[in-house]
Chains A and B, each alone.
Chain A
Amino acid sequence: MASTIRVRAISSGEITEVQVLIQHPMDSGFVKDAKGEIIPPHFIQQLAFEYQGRNVFVADWGTAISKDPYVKFSFKGGNKGDDLKISWVDNKGETDTTTAKIQ
């Protein structure tokens, strides 16, 4: 099954810029469905980016992150061809992980 995580990790020599777009409903638990019933909260709580064995960025997310969440950050280092591992876990304990190559 295709990963929910889309990554763009681009190295410009000294700095690697990382953008991710993740397919996830990020239901806040505040919205009602057509029947008038609350759609239960279902959202990513933690998202981690690992490079060469250490976390270069960790996101703690609440219910106010948009559906199909996006985040962009940069870190020093990162060479073209190196692996960048991205993982998330949501409030239901569901997870996904992917490894992308830095371009």
Chain B
Amino acid sequence: MNLRSPIHLASATLALALATITPTVAADTPDPMAEAKAFRNYFVAKFPNVKPEDFVNGPYSMNKDMRRQWEEKEQFPPYEFSLDMGKEMFGKPFKNGKSYADCFPNQGIGIRQNYPSFDAKEGKVITLELALNRCREANGELPLSYVGDEMAALTAYMAFTSRGKPFDIKIPDDPRALEAYQNGKRYFYTRRGQLNFSCATCHVQNPGERMRAEILAPALGILNAMPIYRSEWGGMGTISRRLVTCNSQIRAVPLEPQADEYRDLEYYLSYVSNGLPISGPGSRP
């Protein structure tokens, strides 16, 4: 399989879309809004029978047999217990009497769609997982493992309170924010690992196709269902966990959870899925 030409095709499509949409913008100034539109149009055109909101269901939007199994399990999903645990954790005050609600706008309810956000003071992208641990540390608690069950349960609950709300990621008028977005995009399209795959290799070039026995999810909406209860894990796992395992699976050395590149990647992927509904917590094979 010649992988090089499809990637050129993908970037050519993007460039063409950009050129068509914003002819007056100089070639070296990225236009995230136009890029997000082109990103979305690429998938909508590739899968005309998939409703735009359905992309958030990943492989289930791509394959009927899998979708049936998923729908059957969604009647009473296995992630209910993790979700309940998350709700309990979220409501339990810290030793100092404060709680997660004190760290977030709107008491932390229905805000998941605003993450990641760019922090102007720090000049960096803040993801929800990062914000949760900072909240803990600011209140004298130990941070949770980014790849463990507890962080998964907590983010599951927060995602649940935002179900149906469209992703609303903002890139403020700040060159550092734009740089973070660019950085995430660069990571997404860069090949790595022994298998020499980029994220795009699977999720832009081959959504709906099989990678060994799995059906690949489209990159559009790929974070909307997070965190996910994976049958393979027999439990709920965070975005951090999935990024780390994804890297391992293409035989690349994974980064540390919440490394800058992962945060920027999450920023980019969430931004280009703006407008699509949060569906988390989700289920996956």
Contacts and interface: CB of A to CB of B under 8 A. Distances in A.
Contacts of A8: 76
A23 B81 contact: yes
Interface string B77-98: 1101100100000000000000
A8 to B, nearest CB: 7
Interface string A43-85: 0000000000000000000000001101010000000000000
Interface residues of A, number: 11
Nearest to A21: B76
Secondary structure at chain A's binding surface: helix, strand, loop or mixed?
A: strand
A68 B81 contact: yes
B234 A21 contact: no
Contacts of B77: 21
Secondary structure at chain B's binding surface: helix, strand, loop or mixed?
A: loop
A91 interface: no
Contacts of A21: 76-78, 80
Interface in B38-92: 73, 75-78, 80-81, 84
A6 B234 contact: no
Interface string A19-46: 1110100000000000000000000000
A6 B80 CA distance: 9
B234 A67 contact: yes
Contacts of B76: 6, 8, 19-21, 70, 72
Nearest to A68: B78
Contacts of B81: 23, 68
Nearest to B79: A68
Contact of B75 (A19, A67, A68): A19
Contacts of B73: 70
Nearest to A4: B81
Interface of B: 73, 75-78, 80-81, 84, 234
**A-B CB proximity, top 4 nearest:** A21-B76, A68-B78, A23-B81, A19-B76
Interface of A: 2, 6, 8, 19-21, 23, 67-68, 70, 72
